[in-house]
Amino acid sequence: MANPRRVVVTGLGIISPIGSGVEPFWQGLKRCRSEVGRVSQFDPTPFRSQVAGEVTDLDVTDHLDERRSKRLDRCSQFAIIASRMAIADSALVLDQEDPNRVGVMMGTALGGVAHAERQHGRYMTDGFRAIDPGLALTVFAGAASCNLAIEYGVTGPNITNGMSCASGAIGIGEGFRTIRRGEAEVMLAGGAEAPLAPLCFGAFAIIRAMSTRNDDPTTASRPFDEHRDGFVMAEGAAVLILEERERALARGARIYLEIVGYGLTNDAHHMTAPRPDGTQAARAMADALNEAGVAPEQIGYINAHGSSTQLNDPTESLAIRQVLGDHASRIPVSGTKGYYGHALGASGAIEAAICSLSSTRGWFPPTVNLVTPGVGCDLPYIQGDGLDLTPEYLLSNSFGFGGINAALLFRRASQ
């Protein structure tokens, strides 16, 4: 692309099990401990896995009026609240923007499916007239991004992708590309997920993908550890405000990071297992570096997907080594899902927010619950109390069911 436009992150909105809002979330990171617990939103007793990362510090009525909140399922509530946080954090006045030049790119793995599951229970108990009249609109796959467009009256490019656990990162990557191509000036980009309902939860439990460390929930999510036994399902959301760099500087915006590269590939191998040789995950990372013209030895930090599963963690480590070679032995790596579990389609967006905050504040979080790295997990993972660091380039990986691989490359902000 000749003379591509530069894209920066100017606002963050975060909802997570370790804290909701920029400062509560940052304090959650600094505590360096997991907030995973036993599922409380339904009785998990029938399932092998009984732990999750739940959002407990968010009162929806503090952010949405009662009528509005009742018309939205939890996933869309998360999307709107996170977007409001992000807009406030960016000091962006959307009313003063050309609505045709502002768009939304969101991701979610399950969207409103958990809400639909609850409505099905009401239907079976009390009949057709008991279900939510807005059910069709909550299970609509594009609900997250369309609700945000309606909320703010923005009429630019709009997509909610459903590419499993990579969808939040894809939302950010596609938002980046939209501005880079000149199709928008501002994008609200990220992911939202509210999957904690019995059938949704049980679908992952039945394929033995989730941890069964029910007697010690806070150690259940343990990326790259030799005793990891599956991921921990979580809920949450993150929305990032992306802007064309020159206009952001002109309005005096605080810049967290610059997005400089994005890679997206598919393993074409298996719906749940990663390609064993890691080549397509590696290609996603390489594509992000190539787009930015960045050499492997320039990468100074990686936020790994680190799902805490037997197959993913060593395969990701292998893929990172394929791309970065010997330099991979010197790059600090965090697998942050040990803190909050795996919020499926929101995870990549939450981890992009972590990169943004850590780059600005010069401290990077540890890989919580990593005691002894497992076989094939042979990278220099950050442990203990985290690491003071000011890397120029940061890489964030997100991989998902269906063989989806997404990589985002960031550059430290230079005002």
pLDDT at 2: 64
Retrieve residue 298's tokens.
Answer: 């320039």
Mean pLDDT (whole number) for 110-130 = 90
194-252: pLDDT as tens digits:
999 999 999 999 999 999 999 999 999 999 999 999 999 999 999 999 999 999 999 99
Residue 2 domain-assigned?
no
User: Does residue 241 share a domain with residue 339?
Assistant: no
User: Does residue 188 share a domain with residue 236?
Assistant: yes
**Residue type at 254?**
R
pLDDT surpassing 80 at residue 82 = yes
State phi, psi for 374 to the nearest 5 degrees: -75, 175
- pLDDT bin (cut points 50, 70, 90) of residue 1 is low
Cβ(266)–Cβ(252) under 8 Å? no
User: Does residue 206 share a domain with residue 330?
Assistant: no
Strand, coil or helix: what is 118? helix
The residues pairing with 231 across neighbouring beta strands, listed in sequence order, are 210
Mean pLDDT (whole number) for 353-372 = 98
Element (H, E) at 243: strand 236-244
- Read off the CATH number of the domain in which 146 is found: 3.40.47.10
Residues contacting residue 214 through CB under 8 Å, at least 6 positions apart: 38, 49, 50, 51, 220
Cα gap 66→298, rounded to integer Å:
49
Helices (H), 11-65: 22-31
Question: Does the predicted model carry a pTM greater than 0.85?
Answer: yes
Domain end point (choices 196, 219, 250): 250
Selection from 401, 396, 351 nearest residue 165 by Cα: 401
Domain end point (choices 220, 250, 280): 250
Residue 305 domain-assigned?
yes
Domain end point (choices 250, 280, 309): 250
Residue 168 domain-assigned?
yes
User: Does residue 63 share a domain with residue 172?
Assistant: yes
144-180: pLDDT as tens digits:
999 999 999 999 999 999 999 999 999 999 999 999 9
For residue 286, give its domain range: 261-412
Mean pLDDT (whole number) for 328-352 = 98
pLDDT at 138: 86
Cα gap 108→194, rounded to integer Å:
9
97-115: pLDDT as tens digits:
999 999 999 999 999 999 9
CA atoms within 13 A of residue 272's CA, in its CB half-sphere: 11
Share of the chain above pLDDT 90, in %: 91
Selection from 231, 15, 41 nearest residue 117 by Cα: 41
State phi, psi for 198 to the nearest 5 degrees: -55, -50
User: Does residue 186 share a domain with residue 43?
Assistant: yes
pLDDT at 414: 80
Mean pLDDT (whole number) for 318-322 = 98
User: Does residue 227 share a domain with residue 279?
Assistant: no
User: Does residue 323 share a domain with residue 221?
Assistant: no
User: Does residue 152 share a domain with residue 71?
Assistant: yes
Cα gap 207→322, rounded to integer Å:
30
Mean pLDDT (whole number) for 295-318 = 98
pLDDT surpassing 80 at residue 348 = yes
**Residue type at 16?**
S
pLDDT at 180: 97
Active site (catalytic) residues: 165, 305, 342
User: Does residue 345 share a domain with residue 266?
Assistant: yes
Cα gap 33→385, rounded to integer Å:
10
User: Does residue 217 share a domain with residue 160?
Assistant: yes
Cβ(221)–Cβ(298) under 8 Å? no
User: Does residue 110 share a domain with residue 55?
Assistant: yes
In the block, residue with structure tokens 């997570």: 16
pLDDT at 415: 53
9-61: pLDDT as tens digits:
999 999 999 999 999 999 999 999 999 999 999 999 999 999 999 999 999 99
Three-state SS string over 159-198 comes to: EEECCHHHHHHHHHHHHHHHHHCCCCCEEEEEEEECCCCH
Residue 118 domain-assigned?
yes
User: Does residue 93 share a domain with residue 226?
Assistant: yes
**Mean pLDDT across the chain:** 96
**Residue type at 235?**
E
Total of domains in the chain: 2
**Residue type at 414?**
S
Residue 256 domain-assigned?
no
Q: If you write DSSP's letter for every residue of 273-341 in order, what string do you get?
A: SPPTT-HHHHHHHHHHHHHHT--GGGEEEEE------TTHHHHHHHHHHHHHGGGGGGS-EE-THHHH-
Residue 245 domain-assigned?
yes
Residue 255 domain-assigned?
no
Q: If you write DSSP's letter for every residue of 137-166 in order, what string do you get?
A: HHSSTTHHHHHHHHHHT--S-EEEE--GGG
Classify burial at 7, counting beta carbons within 10 Å of its beta carbon; exposed 0-12, middle 13-18, buried 19 or more: buried
